[in-house]
Amino acid sequence: MTDRCLNLCALLLAASLFCFASASSASAASPHLILVVGDSVTAGYGLPPEQSFPAVLQTMLLQSGHDVEVVNAGVSGDTTADGLARLPKLFPPHSRHRPNLLILQLGANDGIQGRDLAQVEANLDAMLALARGQGAQVLLAGSHGGSRRSDEYRRAFADIYRRLAYKHGAGLYPVLGAGILGNPEYLQQDGAHPNEAGARLIARNLYPLVVELLGRSQP
**Residues taking part in catalysis:** 40, 190, 193
Three-class SS state of 103: strand
For 85, the enclosing helix (H) or strand (E) is helix 80-90
Question: Are 189 and 42 contacting, i.e. CB atoms less than 8 angstroms apart?
Answer: no
Say how far apart CA 38 and CA 133 lie, in whole Å: 20
Q: Is 87 exposed, middle or buried (0-12, 13-18, 19+ CB in 10 A)?
A: buried
Q: In what order do the strands lie in the sheet with 171-173?
A: 68-74, 32-38, 101-105, 137-141, 171-173
